[in-house]
Structure 1
């Protein structure tokens, strides 16, 4: 299991996150309401937080201590998210460049088979497989 997967697994209930971050439950829910964190929900609708969520809350807390308002925090975090997405896209492009033609064909074939197996069309706009079920 990769570190990325481990860090994004929702493991912690709100009580543990409160102890780790020294934030109140109300503060944590407030940041969720404003789209700064996105905890997973269990079947019983309880919030579970990942390591990433805890890191984000600690970052929010630090920015608040530096007297940054909520609007500023949203901008800072969105810029960081965009940078992270850009790095991820660069990694995807370099990984795609490393594929041989045979490997690319194999990947495309398996995607088409999987899309048909689960009887759900590919959601990419303009993709033709959604018409062949």
Structure 2
């Protein structure tokens, strides 16, 4: 999937579209349970001007995950820890991706230097290489 499609998909999943009644039907949780998870910052639904909670598909996924973790015997503190670890892992993966792109640029630079030192034409045009460094 291309980056643009991933971003578009993520935007759609994060759009607050569902009222609490629909979320109750989708998750089999009570309104009280959902409000409790919100109080503990496990979910953060969007609020309308009238202060009505509106949930995204990501919120519903998060609630279903909370429900599964509770059924496995975790308490709220344990669930918070699991979510923190996932957040750290996601941030680490983003950093890892950036580093790998930097590594690729570094290798490309070295190959260009070698090609130039052998008085060979580089395989990439200057404009193409220049875009990689920006």
TM-score grouping bracket, smaller chain normalisation: 0.5 to 0.7
Residue in 2 aligned with 1:74?
80
Residue in 1 aligned with 2:29?
23
Partners of 1:82 and 1:60 in 2: how far apart?
18
Give ranges in structure 2 of 5+ residues lacking alignment.
Answer: 106-128
Label 1:60 to 1:95 Cα distance change in 2 as closer, same or farther (>3 A).
Answer: same
Partners of 1:12 and 1:95 in 2: how far apart?
38
Partners of 1:15 and 1:95 in 2: how far apart?
45
Give ranges in structure 1 of 5+ residues lacking alignment.
Answer: 105-133
Aligned partner of 1:41 among 35, 42, 47? 47
TM-score by length of 1: 0.68
Deviation at 1:17, TM superposition (A): 0.5
Residue in 2 aligned with 1:64?
70
TM-score by length of 2: 0.67
Partners of 1:95 and 1:102 in 2: how far apart?
10
In terms of Rg, which structure is larger? 2
Cα RMSD of the aligned pairs, angstroms, is 2.3
SS in 1 for 2:16: coil
Runs of 4+ residues deviating >3 angstroms: 89-104
